[in-house]
Chains A and B, each alone.
Chain A
Amino acid sequence: MWSGFPLFPEQASSLASSVDGLYLFLVGVTAVFSLGIAGTILYFAVRYRRRHPDERPGEIHGSLLLELIWSIIPLCIVAVVFVWGATLFFSMNRAPDDAIEVHVVGKQWMWKLQHTTGQREINQLHVPVGRPVRLTLTSEDVIHSFFVPAFRIKKDAVPGRYNMTWFRATKTGTYHLFCAEYCGTEHSRMIGQIVVMEPDDYQTWLQGGPAPVSPVAAGQKLFTELNCVTCHRSDSQGRGPVLDGVAGSSVRLQSGDVVAADDAYLRESIVSPSAKIVEGYQPIMPTYQGQVSEEALFQLIAYIQTLKGPQATPAQPGGGQP
């Protein structure tokens, strides 16, 4: 590449070259059409220039054939681009199962990240090369957006919502992390680094520093401290649903709807418990809105995910069950 004056950001993820491929294709389409139109206009402009002030050329009303041609050809091109773009988008939204999990919380004006092994980072993320990394994003305040140009990924961190994106770094190095959604005064300082390391170096990095508390362990502690455990007992005698095995299952609600108990559902059940009442229970749980930070919510959910039910498909919580 033209090193002093690059036209592309570095390609450092498994998706980068596919995105660049589509980009180059569209640059080609743009060049062909713009130069084609400009060339035609210039040719006509010279060829048919007015040679006499009283000149009156004949009328041409139009041509249905031409209209069809110049509608259908662009339609075919955009159809190709649509399918190409959508396919890429699907792969961007489907993380491989063996991905490393990282929780990301945006706040004015920093990125707070936590690994499942417990390491916490601010404005920096260390990842091993070659392993997929799945990011679950949310925000404590306003909307932010997690943007790594070298990986060609971007996803908004929206308060009250969990968004997901993932990448697999293909090259060691340090890459820009930008906040791409305007978030207030220091928006342009809400930047950081993604450090992609060799797997061995990554292991060394994980070992370094004070022994971290894993999110599961932290979540378990919170579960007791916040007295969740008094109602959500595992022996079906509590006033709230048993949480063993609830994560990832389907939950039947009082309204008769069945919802998937994903991260977003678990989060909502903590911050606004009355939004979805489990069948057979009363809306007695107080809200934890504002009392549990976004990071603590991630930890509680990580803990709840480890609670495995006694039976194989614990889809229906006990309690008021017939």
Chain B
Amino acid sequence: MTTATPATVLPGEPQLPKKHFLNADYGVWSWLLTRDHKRIALLYLASVTLMFFLGGAYAVLIRLELITPPGDLVSSETYNKLFTLHGVVMVFFFLIPAIPAVLGNFLIPLMIGARDLAFPRINLLSWYLYVIGAAFTFWTIVRGGLDTGWTFYTPYSTVFSNTNVISAALGIFIAGFSSILTGLNFIVTIHKMRAPGLTWFRLPLFVWAHYATSLIQILGTPVVAVTILLVALERVFHFGFFDPNRGGDPILFQHLFWFYSHPAVYIMILPAMGVISELVTCFSRKRIFGYSFIAMSSLAIAVLGFLVWGHHMFVSGQSVYAGMVFSALSFLVAIPSAIKVFNWTATLFRGSVSYETPMLYALGFIGLFTIGGLTGLFLAALGLDIHVTDTYFVVAHFHYIMVGSTVMAYLGGLHFWWPKITGRLYPEWWARVSAVVIFVGFNLTFFPQFVLGYLGMPRRYHFYPEEFQVLNVMSSAGASILGVGYLIPMVYLAWSMRYGKIATPNPWPATGLEWRTSSPPPTENFRETPEIDVEVYDYTVPPKEPFLA
């Protein structure tokens, strides 16, 4: 990071601080052995970005293949590996860590006025576990891939697949511990390290959302880690956990898998909701509407999220009564989600709304999340789920939630805090263009898939009947726009790290402690321990002075 030379700086122009976390130390080891949460966040940023484009490359190949009904681009074996690796890479190595490990890591200590997370070394260990998990995944790819689907359904994964199930399973098992340790770190940090005066109900909603997420990470991830390990054990030692020919039950796997993997969806979406709460309130320049309802709805989603896993199994032969209980509980999750959407909307009311890029992402998020959430009702409704489950309707639904919503929030947050992270502004015009391109491209890609699904096109189909071609072509065309939309920010964000305009400590301006230190912050975050004597999101007064020495 270069500091602008004094000659080019006009009086009054913002300048980078002389010493900050990016230039505090130099060299590879200063990064690889860092215990600074901000540097670890940047290590995660680099890693998850790499995984996002790897997973995205698989998506490109999938959409290219599906332009024509016969599987003529790749073989069926390859196609099955493409969608499996797309899912594994995106879910376990991008969506689950993206917001918590990058933005959460960077911001939680800053937002609560702490010097670092409670366990800085464990934080670094989390990143190494993630990297080792990712290395196992690369090994899986190099050795010929994996074809079980990211869901690893038994007995296909334990007995019938001829691909690298064990290395992939170990990769997910190890990466799981990265997630558990991050959650643990966040919970202890939020409990023990808040600055004087920062009571629970003065915490930014971003912190509340991460608190709820961390609970899921700690309670849910061990279950999937062990389940995936059982798959590996059954494959190697032929234990009869899931294989009916050895006395196991293949449905047991689905129970165990979804007990985590449904809450995992909330690991992806809750932090996203936290980001949106910050963006909406800042760009409406107004206290968020219904603060405590938004905070509590995060916890409600985290708790209810553990009780709905059976809705993935309505056609598995699960008892009718179990199906009813899971259906009813799934509908209940809709309520706290709806509460959030309504409160964000109400925040705009009588606000002072401006449309910088992060706000465009936030508004886009609300639109896509609303559609993603409402289509969840279709899947929770027992008699209707029978028809649409395992079709493209489900694919469209979860992409609206996991990609439409989570990735929009991630990019919105990345833009919002970019000046804080790098000390420089991104180019606003390009950023607005790409936000719009992503929104349009996303809808063109995934909306046709709802129709495809209702028409009956099953998911994970390499060949498909000709009557589905028109909608598949529309989806692939949209995907090409979406792909461009994702590439543009890569370019200008990288460019802005060196050439972007220097940012002030609080460019938007926003409330929140992270805006009351320099951009980028010093290694120790604050020169003095901040004391908090104001309510959260108090936009009635001009922004407070930064705590700069």
Residues of A within 8 A of B (CB): 5-9, 18-19, 22-23, 26, 29-30, 33-34, 37-38, 40-41, 44-45, 48-51, 54-63, 66-67, 70-71, 74-75, 78-79, 81-82, 84-93, 108, 141-143, 145, 147, 149-150, 152-156, 158-161, 163, 176, 178-189, 191, 272, 289-290
Contact of A41 among B366, B458, B463, B540 (CB under 8 A): B366
Query: A3 CB to closest chain B CB, in angstroms?
Result: 11
Contacts of B149 in A (CB 8 A): 182
A interface majority secondary structure: mixed
Number of interchain pairs (Cβ within 8 Å):
292
Interface residue ranges, B against A (CB under 8 Å): 71, 76-77, 80, 147, 149, 151, 153, 155-156, 159-161, 244-245, 247, 249-251, 284-287, 289-293, 314-317, 320, 323-324, 327-328, 331-332, 334-335, 338-339, 341-343, 345-346, 348-355, 363, 366-367, 370-371, 374-375, 377-378, 380-387, 389-391, 451, 454-456, 458-465, 467, 470, 538-542
A174 to B157, CA, bound (A): 34
Instruction: Check if A79 sits within 8 Å of B286, measured CB to CB.
Output: no
Q: Is the CB of B374 within 8 A of A59?
A: no
Q: How long is the Cα–Cα vector from A60 to B77 in the complex, in angstroms?
A: 57
Interface contact B384-A88, CB-CB below 8 Å:
yes
- Asked if B374 and A178 sit within 8 Å, CB to CB, the answer is no
Contact A186 B338 (CB under 8 A): no
Contact B385 A85 (CB under 8 A): yes
With A and B bound together, what is the CA distance between A53 and B247 in angstroms? 70
Q: Give A89 Cβ to nearest chain B Cβ, in Å.
A: 3
A89-B345 contact, Cβ under 8 Å, with A22-B383, A78-B334, A143-B153: no
Q: Do residues B316 and A156 form an inter-chain contact, with CB atoms below 8 A? A: yes
Residue from the list B76, B370, B380 in contact with A185, Cβ < 8 A:
B76
Query: What's the minimum C-beta distance from A106 to chain B, rounded to whole angstroms?
Result: 12
- Provided the pairs A82-B328, A154-B390 are in contact, do residues A60 and B289 lie with their beta carbons within 8 angstroms? yes
Residues of A within 8 A of B339 (CB): 67, 70-71
Q: Is the CB of A176 within 8 A of B348?
A: no
Q: Tell me the bound Cα distance from A79 to B330 in angstroms.
A: 11
Can you add 16 more A-B contacts, CB < 8 Å, to A45-B355, A184-B156? Answer: A7-B454, A29-B377, A30-B374, A33-B370, A44-B349, A50-B285, A56-B541, A67-B343, A82-B380, A82-B381, A88-B381, A88-B383, A160-B245, A182-B459, A184-B160, A187-B461
A49 touches B354 (CB 8 A): yes
A89 in contact with B244 given A29-B374, A56-B541 (CB within 8 Å) = no
Q: A38-B367, A70-B338, A89-B320 given as contacts; is B391 within 8 A of A23 (CB)?
A: no
19 residue pairs from A and B, CB less than 8 Å apart:
A6-B467, A41-B366, A45-B363, A49-B353, A57-B285, A60-B286, A62-B290, A71-B339, A85-B381, A86-B382, A87-B383, A88-B382, A90-B320, A142-B159, A147-B390, A152-B386, A178-B461, A188-B71, A189-B463
Rounded to whole Å, the gap between the CB of B389 and the closest CB of chain A is: 7
B258 to chain A minimum Cβ distance, whole angstroms, is 14
In Å, the complex CA distance between A152 and B391 comes to 12
B229 to chain A, nearest CB (A): 21
Q: A88 to nearest B CB, angstroms?
A: 2
Given A48-B350, A161-B244, A180-B391, CB of A59 within 8 Å of CB of B287: yes
Q: Once the chains bind, are B293 and A67 in contact (CB under 8 Å)?
A: yes
- Whether A81 lies near B377 (C-beta < 8 A) is yes
Chain A residues with CB under 8 A of B332: 78
Contacts of B77 in A (CB 8 A): 185
Closest 6 CB pairs of A and B: A88-B383, A149-B456, A160-B244, A85-B381, A89-B382, A44-B348
B377 touching A78 by the CB < 8 A rule? yes
Judge whether A176 and B456 touch: CB under 8 Å.
Answer: yes
A45: B residues at CB distance < 8 A: 348, 353, 355, 363
Q: Across the interface, do A50 and B464 meet the contact criterion of CB distance under 8 Å? A: no
CB atoms of B338 and A85 under 8 A apart:
no
Residue of B nearest to A147 (CB): B458
Question: How far does the Cβ of B22 sit from chain A's closest Cβ, in whole Å?
Answer: 30
**Complex contacts, A23 vs chain B, CB 8 Å:** 378, 384, 387, 454
Can you name the residue of chain B whose Cβ is closest to the Cβ of A15? B383
Hey, which chain B residues are within 8 Å of A89, CB to CB? 314, 320, 323-324, 327, 382-383, 386
Q: How far is the CA of A146 from the CA of B463 in the complex (A)?
A: 17
A177 to chain B, nearest CB (A): 10
CB distance from B138 to the nearest CB of A (A): 23
Q: Are A22 and B381 CB-contacts (below 8 A) given A41-B366, A48-B353?
A: yes
Q: Could you tell me the distance between the alpha carbons of A153 and B531 in the complex, rounded to whole angstroms? A: 62
Asked if B382 and A85 make an inter-chain contact with CB atoms under 8 angstroms apart, the answer reads yes
The answer on a CB contact under 8 Å between A182 and B286 is no
- Return the chain A residue nearest B341 by Cβ: A37
Question: A9 touches which one: B247, B331, B346, B454 (CB < 8 A)?
Answer: B454
Option from A44, A161, A187 in Cβ contact (under 8 Å) with B351: A44
Q: How far is the CB of B457 from chain A (nearest CB, A)?
A: 8
Q: Measured between C-beta atoms, what is the minimum distance from A127 to chain B in Å? A: 18
- CA distance in complex: A40, B464 (Å): 40
Query: Contact: B380 with A180, CB < 8 Å?
Result: no
Contacts of A63 in B (CB 8 A): 289-290
Given A59-B540, A84-B381, A145-B315; A187-B386 close (CB under 8 Å) = no
CA distance A143 to B341 in the complex (A): 38
Chain B residues, CB < 8 A from A38: 367, 370
Given the interface contacts A56-B285, A89-B386, does A82 sit within 8 Å of B352 by beta carbon?
no
Known contacts A9-B456, A34-B367, A159-B250; is A289 also within 8 Å of B341 by CB?
A: no
Query: Which A residues are CB-close (under 8 A) to B287?
Result: 59-61
Cβ contact within 8 Å between A30 and B371:
yes
Inter-subunit contact B351/A182 (CB<8 Å): no
Most buried by A among B291, B328, B353: B353
Chain B residues with CB below 8 A from A91, complex form: 383
Q: How far is the CA of A156 from the CA of B285 in the complex (A)?
A: 52
Q: Which residues of chain A are within 8 angstroms of B159 by Cβ–Cβ distance?
A: 142
What's the minimum C-beta distance from B80 to chain A, rounded to whole angstroms? Answer: 6
Shortest CB–CB separation between residue B431 and chain A, in angstroms? 18
Residue from B151, B335, B541 within 8 A of A71 (CB atoms): B335
Query: Which B residues are in CB contact (< 8 Å) with A30?
Result: 371, 374-375, 377
- Residue in chain B with minimal CB distance to A49: B353
Which residues of the partner chain A approach B284 to less than 8 Å between Cβ atoms?
48, 57
Q: Once the chains bind, are B387 and A75 in contact (CB under 8 Å)? A: no
Are B331 and A82 in contact, CB atoms less than 8 angstroms apart?
Answer: yes
Q: Is the CB of A160 within 8 A of B71?
A: no
Contacts of A85 in B (CB 8 A): 327, 380-385
Q: Are A185 and B456 in contact (CB under 8 A)?
A: no
Evaluate whether A160 and B383 lie within 8 angstroms (CB atoms) in the complex, with A30-B375, A34-B367 already known. no
Assembled-state Cα–Cα distance A23/B507 (Å)? 47
Are B383 and A86 within 8 A (Cβ)? yes
B446 to chain A, nearest CB (A): 14
- Are A181 and B390 in touch, CB under 8 angstroms? yes
Choose among A29, A147, A150, A155 the residue with the greatest number of B CB atoms under 10 Å from its CB. Answer: A147
> Which residues of chain B are within 8 angstroms of A82 by Cβ–Cβ distance?
327-328, 331, 380-381
Contacting pair A183 B156 (CB below 8 A)? yes
Rounded to whole Å, the gap between the CB of A173 and the closest CB of chain B is 14
Decide if B384 touches A55 in the complex (CB within 8 Å): no
The answer to whether residues A74 and B353 also contact, given A92-B383, A147-B458 and a CB cut-off of 8 A, is: no
Known contacts: A78-B377, A163-B317. The answer to whether A154 contacts B285 by CB under 8 A is no
The distance from the CB of B161 to the nearest CB of chain A, in whole angstroms, is 7
Asked if residues B334 and A74 are in contact (CB atoms below 8 Å), the reply is yes
Taking CB atoms, residues of chain B closer than 8 Å to A22 are: 381, 383-384
Chain B residue contacts of A147, Cβ below 8 A: 390-391, 456, 458
